[in-house]
Structure 1
Amino acid sequence: MKLPPEPKTPSWLLSLQFKADPFGYMDAISKRYGDIVTLMFGSTPTIYVSNPSGIKEIFTNTKEITASGELNRDDALMTGKQGVLQLDGIRHKHRRKLLMPAFHGARMQTQGQRICDLTHKVMQQQAIGKPFIGYPTMEDITLRVSIEVVMGLPEGERYNRLKQLLSLSLKQMLSPLLIIAKKLPFGGRDLGRWSPAGYLLYLRQELFDLLYTEVQERRKQTDTSRTDILSELVLASDEAGNPLTDEEVRDLLISPLFAAQDASSTALAWSLYWVHRLPHVRSRLLQELDSLGENPDPMSIFTLPYLSAVCNEVLRIYPTQLFTFPRLVESPVQVMGYELNPGTILIGNIYSTHQREDLYPTPKEFQPERFLEKQFSPYEFLPFGGGSRVCIGGTFALFEMKLVLATILSHYELELVSQRPERPKYIDLICYPASGVKMIVRGLRQHQAQSQPSVIGLV
């Protein structure tokens, strides 16, 4: 087997370098070893690819290279053993098909006005002249949206408890104390609710119990007119024609809830940062939004070219997901000229692909215009991964991102508290803004009528 180049640095030191500065580390690795590199974890070679042609080979070769759910088993602690991340083959395809309609087409469009209304509801809680943190504010919005889309719950006690459990669970998963504890001999064990791991397990059980109860109750009061994911799953059948079990339905709900909360709120926080750090970007966006008139239709907002370009550039420069889900070589295969043996792990490096200068000149600069000038392939721009493991809710996430950002910009005058660059912080596959993006509301914004034909897209 001929493997791609491999750093001579010991794996433990590479791990420390990555944790200290993941982006500097990946930039240095790409510069020195190119767009395909081998890292050894024990006796298993793991190959990271940031070449679009190589990524295409990985995504499209489903015979020798599989997207094994077993490789995502570490996520099962919080997502359950029967979520889409852990399933394979026919079961995986079937469950994805069950979840897809809620995140696409007409079903997605019906959520547009509700997303705008929820954004207003949360933003109206921010006092004028008083600083707030962008990330938790965006998390509040995306949590509300995800609970309504996935669960169809009305506001009330159970809605609030679910919202609280999802937020607390995510905070605990990202807790520095838990991350440190896991490195200690017994730190990852359940030592009671007051230990880091024990508290996460407590939250997990509370979340699982709440979802399980809701599944059981919804099954008793089935309503074929409802369009939320839970209501559809309790009526759905598996690939053999049998009803899904309550446990299966519960596990299928968890990943969409967490993904909608975590990745979407992170992308929105970065959006607020870049738009308000670069006045020319904000000015052009407002000009485009104002061209729609007052109270525009959500689908008109969704199709705005410069808004789309801004959101794409946000997801390019600091993608919320830095790597694709891993793939497993099942039988001898050639990737980018290298002969790989069974057992080799393949991972698409999304961040490094998005930093390629041949695709994105001056990649460290925030330039939305690049997405107006060129159409990128799904192997060149892949913020939601690709192939059989592409994020089910990717289209909906962009839809939500555009509507939330447009609603905030159109109605609120915001500014950054500090002009110091926002530092990216990488935790558990997600790239967060380190300070959370500190902002302040300066006042309400009045719609600016267009006095002349819009020149958006021509400037």
Structure 2
Amino acid sequence: MQLPNPVQTPSLMQKLQWVADPIGYMESAVQQYPDIFTARVVGFGDTLVFVNHPQAIQEILTNDRKKYAALGEDNKVLQPLVGDYSILMLDGDRHRRRRQLVMPSFHGERMRVYGQQICNLTAKVFNQIPTNQPFAARSITQEISLQVILETVFGVYEGERFQKLKQQLSLMADLFRSPFTSSFLFFPLLQKDLGPWSPWGKFVRDREEIDKLLYAEIAERREKPDANRIDILSLLISSRDEAGEPMSDQELRDELITLLLAGYETTATAMAWGLYWTHQHPEVLAKLLQELDNIGNSPDALSIFRLPYLSAVCNETLRVRPVTMLTFPRVVQEPVELLGHRLEPGTVVVGCMYLLHQREDLYPQPKQFKPERFLERQFSPYEFMPFGGGARRCLGEALAVFEMKLVLGTILSRYQLALADDRPEVPRRRGVILAPARGVKMVITGRRARHEPQLSLAST
């Protein structure tokens, strides 16, 4: 079968580079083949067609299932983490029905309630950081993000189970903190339980501890239902599918873990990058602080969320450093032509969000951090897509963006920060995502005195 623009590097070398240095791998390939190329990588089958042309990505993600199908089995790299019943592993009607059950959790009045929780948690965590002592911003945003997840998704606020969940979830997430440990997800031969001191053995035991805590929480909620609770676990327990059937304990467990992974590591990473870029570019920070000052001393969460320049800063952060690199794969169902190349049934294709966001024709000087580009132009969902697209677009997008804006807005309006390391922060693989290699080292230099409101940002 003839595949489009195959990368010529030997297969094993491609696989190793994809795990160790995915940015270098993609940027090298796209220099030879700007819009589409075939890679031999691990995690989504052996051969993968990368596409970064916006119209082609739209065709792949929005076409009817007769041409491109999203198959949960192709997400097998995630199976050890999320289980067999996660929405990520489901296909067709089962995927659609599960999505309908979960979607209402991330919209409407619930988001308003979550807003004040997020602002309060952010202030609580930052108030505990000593002044003029370096800290890793990503560790702090992880702490905030994990507490937001535990409260909004799990509905757990305090007590022994809360503390145990915090500890175990942090341990499991931190296991895949480097390209080396991430390789255990991509190479099944490495997934051997050789005891609690082996990397995979430790992961298995951490996962078992988390499962015990989750199943205990699920059992307790089923025994004592409370219609007034608005956390996502309670809503999922009370939900029913089209046949009137509730989700099983296993389905609830897998969905909770999926929401955790989708909303904890990813959001924490995006917020850390946001702190990095705003302090790398003083002119960006100055504009953002002026905008925050314009909404007064005690703004409500929705006022922060609606700020246009803050939104542009968050969008540019997600563009230049998307946390995830690829859309979920699609499998060609019948012969199709894409960008002048014939694709046969069985070919696996992905949209490459990282390379899409680096296109010079969409984003002039793409390496430059320039939030203004999101104020000057509106990009289509297939030109700017940090959360994927189509039927598999990230379910937690609304909560992630909401949290990112509120956390950054709260931190920057209350604290004076500075980067503690002059070296540029670079992205490095952390499991299936990209995170700042050194964690964004910062210091709090003092509390921020708010300035008198200005009328407009138009002149800046």
Q: Please state which band the TM-score falls in when normalised by the shorter chain.
A: over 0.9
Which has the larger displacement, 231-240 or 252-261? 231-240
CA RMSD of aligned residues (A): 1.9
C-alpha distance in 1 between matches for 2:17 and 2:59: 29
The answer to whether the aligner puts 1:58 opposite 2:60 as a matched pair is: yes
- Per the TM alignment, residue 19 of structure 1 is displaced from its structure 2 partner at its CA by 4.3
- Relative to 1, partners in 2 of residues 1:97 and 1:291: Cα closer, same or farther, differing over 3 Å? same
**Is the 8 Å Cα contact of residues 289 and 410 (structure 1) preserved in structure 2?**
yes
The answer to whether the aligner puts 1:191 opposite 2:205 as a matched pair is: no
SS in 2 for 1:234: helix
SS in 2 for 1:148: helix
Cα deviation digits, residues 86-123 of structure 1 (max 9, x gap): 11112211211221122222211221111000000000
* Residue equivalent to 2:5: 5
Q: Which amino acid aligns with 2:8?
A: K
* Residue equivalent to 1:384: 387
* Residue equivalent to 2:25: 25
* Residue equivalent to 2:331: 328
* Residue equivalent to 1:91: 94
Unaligned runs of 5+ in 1: none
C-alpha distance in 2 between matches for 1:254 and 1:37: 33
- Relative to 1, partners in 2 of residues 1:183 and 1:369: Cα closer, same or farther, differing over 3 Å? closer
C-alpha distance in 1 between matches for 2:145 and 2:125: 10
- Per the TM alignment, residue 254 of structure 1 is displaced from its structure 2 partner at its CA by 0.9
* Residue equivalent to 2:35: 35
* Residue equivalent to 1:15: 15
- Per the TM alignment, residue 246 of structure 1 is displaced from its structure 2 partner at its CA by 1.3
Q: What is the aligned counterpart of 2:292 among 289, 294, 297?
A: 289
The answer to whether the aligner puts 1:234 opposite 2:254 as a matched pair is: no
* Residue equivalent to 1:278: 281
Q: Which amino acid aligns with 1:296?
A: P
Q: What is the aligned counterpart of 2:112 among 109, 114, 137?
A: 109
* Residue equivalent to 1:361: 364
After TM superposition, the score normalised by the length of structure 2 is 0.95
C-alpha distance in 1 between matches for 2:285 and 2:337: 46
C-alpha distance in 2 between matches for 1:231 and 1:184: 36
SS in 2 for 1:93: helix
- Per the TM alignment, residue 183 of structure 1 is displaced from its structure 2 partner at its CA by 8.9
C-alpha distance in 2 between matches for 1:183 and 1:299: 40
1:213-228 superposed matches below 5 A? 213-228=216-231
Which has the larger displacement, 222-231 or 313-322? 222-231
> How many percent identity over aligned positions?
49
Q: Which amino acid aligns with 1:438?
A: K
Which has the larger displacement, 70-79 or 168-177? 168-177
* Residue equivalent to 1:393: 396
**Is the 8 Å Cα contact of residues 304 and 409 (structure 2) preserved in structure 1?**
yes
* Residue equivalent to 2:269: 266
The answer to whether the aligner puts 1:417 opposite 2:420 as a matched pair is: yes
C-alpha distance in 2 between matches for 1:287 and 1:125: 26
- Per the TM alignment, residue 330 of structure 1 is displaced from its structure 2 partner at its CA by 2.0
* Residue equivalent to 2:344: 341
**Is the 8 Å Cα contact of residues 44 and 345 (structure 1) preserved in structure 2?**
no
Q: What is the aligned counterpart of 2:455 among 415, 428, 453?
A: 453
**Is the 8 Å Cα contact of residues 6 and 39 (structure 1) preserved in structure 2?**
yes
- Relative to 1, partners in 2 of residues 1:249 and 1:328: Cα closer, same or farther, differing over 3 Å? same
- Per the TM alignment, residue 412 of structure 1 is displaced from its structure 2 partner at its CA by 0.5
**Is the 8 Å Cα contact of residues 306 and 457 (structure 1) preserved in structure 2?**
no
Which has the larger displacement, 37-46 or 199-208? 37-46
SS in 1 for 2:87: coil
C-alpha distance in 1 between matches for 2:173 and 2:214: 16
Cα deviation digits, residues 332-356 of structure 1 (max 9, x gap): 2222232211111001110100000
C-alpha distance in 1 between matches for 2:418 and 2:154: 34
